[in-house]
Structure 1
């Protein structure tokens, strides 16, 4: 009997529930993270995502090219780091979240001979550090909640129109990016002429139209549900669907690369294979001071307004249900620069214009920017800084066309102002931003106008003001 009692529990020995229960939280968390990353990076449409990846190059290439030619920015290092940024942001957000140059810092670097690589990196590190602190403390989210929509739309409209006006200059005038100025009218004919730019613009309008509504309507048409007598009437449907699904931006970019080699075949001899050497940038006290005064101070308002606040609002407009907090965007921008700028990578941020441009050309998932990031990584590791020789021959008019449609798409986001009062505030903010070339000044004027209108309406609605006007005690 004792022997039987000792053997009785043995059938339960193979079971091991405590170990499974102990491992399940970690395994479950890991599985959720992996599933989310896979979902965020999946392509909605291969051609559309590839096309969308080209939507931000009209901004990226000219600024990077100017910094490389003027300030000897390490293009290879910049491509590697920005490529990593693209992949990470695509995996985190699941939308075509762009990685753009910090424009105010770039403008100072190109125009000021004394503002070199150490000053550029100091400005990027300080700007990123401040944004990181604003994010982790929750102050950025508070700022986002306090700024009215009409002011945000004013900043977006100003930035979109600024992109569009710059694009028209690229198309009409020859550009010297090393001096950041035009050098004369662009000829009508040639491999970088007006005719080429106009043909590219017409091609994009034919393929993409004014927006995505027409393409999505074509894509959603049922297949095989038409009656036989209706089929002859829709004989051109397949051709229209094929035309509307063409990756217009990608085709134009490939055309530009081909023309770059045709314009100057000698660039092949200047290509050197292998990555650029990555070194820690030495920043002196003088460089920290100059970087903060000339770079961080003008860049910080633009980063807060356009890289965080405007991107939050635009992402919620373009991707309903995928609202991103100002805290997360501020933290990611901060980390990108606090890490990358120490190694000579260009100061980077998110941008509403880049998001609008990539959406315009079909970007819908994080896979769009991850694909762009992978391409940057390959180019940075294989060609390094020698890639600048090719970019310097890229037709500027073609870049202008890409930038034009990105700017228009961003400006269109401001069409949802429902009242004349909101439109008034938006246009005041836009006008001051454009004329003063300062998003910060436009923001201040827009906020002041908004508060004055609220004060006026508050006074108008008070009974005591009416009594006082009629002289009743």
Structure 2
């Protein structure tokens, strides 16, 4: 069945559309505040990428800011123009890897057990971020986040009242009546079109070393290999290929700078978040992208007020649920102490080691191939 025919736009897809907002919104806000990039271009490019992903895959296939690059830029170590140039470079690299077949070879070498560890590591990292967001609001934040998580879990399978709609709706009402300065919003309203980035071609070496190289291992492990595995876990009847994921990753980043956008990728955490909140088709991603389009085209002049107003505890609660879905994938690990131990080591290395995802992938492969004779048959390479 063609992907377009799978799209739905019901209340469950609308609820699931907010499954990745807890990751995306803080990163985009940090990048904009650190670089001074045009908010219209960033939001519009991000929204168009979401819509394209939903239409192409027919799945809640997320598009996210590139995390390693975002961290460097938010820390003030690279400029916005260098960030956009780096996106162009990594897009070309990923497209080459996808169409050369190297991604498929990597998948055959990396055991499922190691991929599970990477997924769990990302789950732990998301949980840490969620706790940090929740703590910003003090005791009230902890109470609100706890209540939001309880509602999300309680209504996770409810046919008429999806939990995410209740939680996000309550957060939006809280923002509208208690946090938003509508005078600022009204003055920032107006149609704005994106402008192409002015890329600093003479700074390619700095972009490569500061931004591209640190991002590559995270993209290979989480954005491509773990995302493909998570699709197989959650949507076994709708498989996607590594070449397809790497190809859309590459094309999105080759196009984004010409709209003034930032580098983007897919991600298993976002996929888990959409799924956890009820999304089952690409309609959720289309809805999510449309929201960014509206904000970018009409409200980019007031983006700081919009970003400040949305309650951090709601973002934290969504991230916690997203983290839970990833951690529950450890149930697929063979129930032996050695297999669980390897997955746990990979997860902890991903979270705490420098270049954690690359290091975790390497450490996990070394442990697996050194000890494979003592592991049960299901713990074999992902291919």
TM-score, scaled relative to structure 1: 0.75
Q: Does 1:427 align with 2:344?
A: yes
Q: Which one of the candidate residues 27, 36, 46 is aligned to 1:63?
A: 27
> Which residue number corresponds to residue 261 of structure 1?
176
Q: Does 1:188 align with 2:154?
A: no
In structure 2, distance between residues paired with 1:275 and 1:441:
46
Deviation at 1:59, TM superposition (A): 0.6
Q: Does 1:103 align with 2:19?
A: no
Judge conservation of contact 2:181–2:305 (CA < 8 Å) in 1: no
Instruction: Decide which moves more: 140-149 or 71-80.
Output: 71-80
In structure 2, distance between residues paired with 1:151 and 1:159:
13
> Which residue number corresponds to residue 28 of structure 1?
none
Instruction: Decide which moves more: 445-454 or 70-79.
Output: 70-79
What are the within-5 Å matches in structure 2 for residues 51-450 of structure 1?
A: 51-112=15-76, 114-172=77-135, 174=136, 186-189=137-140, 193-208=141-156, 215=157, 245-271=160-186, 272-285=188-201, 287-420=203-336, 421-437=338-354, 438-450=356-368
Instruction: Decide which moves more: 375-384 or 53-62.
Output: 375-384
Alpha-carbon deviations, 1:204-261, whole Å to 9, x = none?
22212xxxxxx3xxxxxxxxxxxxxxxxxxxxxxxxxxx5641222232232233223
Q: Does 1:453 align with 2:371?
A: yes
Judge conservation of contact 1:120–1:295 (CA < 8 Å) in 2: yes
Deviation at 1:280, TM superposition (A): 2.3
In structure 2, distance between residues paired with 1:254 and 1:382:
21
In structure 2, distance between residues paired with 1:455 and 1:203:
45
In structure 1, distance between residues paired with 2:46 and 2:246:
17
Deviation at 1:354, TM superposition (A): 0.3
- Inter-CA distance 267–300: structure 2 relative to 1 (3 Å threshold): farther
The alignment partner of 1:392 has SS state of helix
In structure 1, distance between residues paired with 2:243 and 2:198:
30
Judge conservation of contact 1:73–1:117 (CA < 8 Å) in 2: yes
- Inter-CA distance 198–419: structure 2 relative to 1 (3 Å threshold): closer
In structure 1, distance between residues paired with 2:195 and 2:164:
35
Alpha-carbon deviations, 1:368-421, whole Å to 9, x = none?
111212222222222234233111122112211111111111121121111524
Report the count of equivalent residues.
372
Deviation at 1:120, TM superposition (A): 0.9
> Which residue number corresponds to residue 381 of structure 2?
none
In structure 2, distance between residues paired with 1:62 and 1:318:
26
Instruction: Decide which moves more: 423-432 or 397-406.
Output: 423-432
Alpha-carbon deviations, 1:2-21, whole Å to 9, x = none?
xxxxxxxxxxxxxxxxxxxx
Over the aligned positions, Cα root-mean-square deviation in angstroms equals 1.9
Instruction: Decide which moves more: 75-84 or 399-408.
Output: 75-84
The alignment partner of 1:188 has SS state of helix
In structure 2, distance between residues paired with 1:265 and 1:368:
26
Alignment gaps of 5+ in structure 1: 1-34, 175-185, 209-214, 216-242, 458-473
In structure 2, distance between residues paired with 1:411 and 1:288:
38
Judge conservation of contact 1:158–1:434 (CA < 8 Å) in 2: yes
In structure 1, distance between residues paired with 2:4 and 2:154:
34
Judge conservation of contact 2:88–2:257 (CA < 8 Å) in 1: yes
TM-score, scaled relative to structure 2: 0.91
In structure 1, distance between residues paired with 2:214 and 2:331:
28
Judge conservation of contact 1:64–1:75 (CA < 8 Å) in 2: no
Segments of 4+ moved more than 6 angstroms: none
In structure 2, distance between residues paired with 1:305 and 1:277:
35
Select the structure of larger CA radius of gyration: 1
Deviation at 1:267, TM superposition (A): 4.3
In structure 1, distance between residues paired with 2:11 and 2:282:
14
Instruction: Decide which moves more: 429-438 or 158-167.
Output: 429-438
In structure 2, distance between residues paired with 1:275 and 1:266:
20
Alpha-carbon deviations, 1:106-130, whole Å to 9, x = none?
0001012x41111111221111111
